[in-house]
Chains A and B, each alone.
Chain A
Amino acid sequence: QITLKESGPSLVKPTQTLTLTCSFSEFSLNTSGVGVGWIRQPPGKALDWLAVIYWDDDRRYSPSLTSRLTITKDTSKNQVVLTMTNMDPVDTATYYCVHTLPYYYGNGDYSKGDDTFDIWGQGTMVTVSS
């Protein structure tokens, strides 16, 4: 069965760069139609979509955070890394990585963004504080 697990620091200081790693198993990011995304949730607040990377290295970012985010993949290690620069206390949240399936038209074309997040990691809490 597919599993994903997030790892990274639980505490970062303001202005620092956060680096989170998603380690996954039982699927490959070399497979067409597969992606890994990141979603966060501040305490007591709503889910917030951050970024996704697809099998073909297409990357999408939240428009409000695009200047601060970078998502990369290492298919040999089955890992996806998210970096977020210039961290602020408002970035305190639980960060989830998700197995992502874009909508498939059936003719080789995909509708990226029409994504099903079918498997979620357990999440990792990150606190931004000095």
Chain B
Amino acid sequence: SYELTQPPSVSVSPGQTARITCSGDALPKQYAYWYQQKSGQAPVLVIYEDTKRPSDIPERFSGSSSGTMATLTISGAQVEDEGDYYCYSSDSSDNHGVFGGGTKLTVL
């Protein structure tokens, strides 16, 4: 079955740049999406179609994708950005969805 692989954790100091990666064999052909989940809350979309940012998401969030890896970048991470981040994409053959295992971002 198709899998997306993320690092379990990323830690940065406030103001630093946080980068969270997501690797998957179908990413050259399929878009990547990123969701932020804070403790006890439903996930929130932060990046869609590899690089697009919803209008209510701060500009410090950006996305990129190259080959089999997609990257979420938080430039100047803030304490309020702490939480779990999940990438999502689809299997190119059956077009069913899959989430990565999630990355816990710590900003301190």
Number of interface residues of A (CB under 8 A): 26
Q: How many A-B residue pairs have CB under 8 A?
A: 72
Tell me the interface secondary structure of chain A in the complex: strand
Distance (Å) between the CB of A45 and the closest chain B CB? 8
- Pair B42/A48 contact, Cβ less than 8 Å: no
Asked if A122 is at the interface of the complex by the 8 Å CB criterion, the answer is yes
Number of interface residues of B (CB under 8 A): 26
Q: Which residues of B contact A112 (CB under 8 A)?
A: 95
Q: Which residues of B contact A37 (CB under 8 A)?
A: 97
Q: Which residues of A contact B35 (CB under 8 A)?
A: 47, 117
- Pair A49/B99 contact, Cβ less than 8 Å: yes
Q: Which residues of B contact A117 (CB under 8 A)?
A: 33, 35, 43, 45, 88
- Which residues of A45-97 are within 8 A (CB) of B? 46-49, 52, 60-64, 96
- Pair A113/B30 contact, Cβ less than 8 Å: yes
Q: Please, how many angstroms separate the alpha-carbon atoms of A52 and B88 in the complex?
A: 14
Asked if B25 is at the interface of the complex by the 8 Å CB criterion, the answer is no
Residue numbers of A with Cβ under 8 A of B are 37, 39, 46-49, 52, 60-64, 96, 103, 111-118, 120-123
Residue numbers of B with Cβ under 8 A of A are 1, 30-31, 33, 35, 37, 42-45, 48-49, 54, 86, 88, 90-91, 94-102
What are 28 contact pairs spanning A and B, CB under 8 A?
Answer: A39-B99, A46-B86, A46-B99, A47-B43, A52-B97, A60-B94, A60-B96, A61-B96, A62-B96, A96-B43, A103-B31, A113-B30, A113-B91, A113-B96, A113-B97, A114-B31, A115-B33, A115-B90, A115-B97, A116-B45, A117-B45, A117-B88, A118-B45, A118-B48, A118-B54, A120-B42, A120-B43, A121-B42
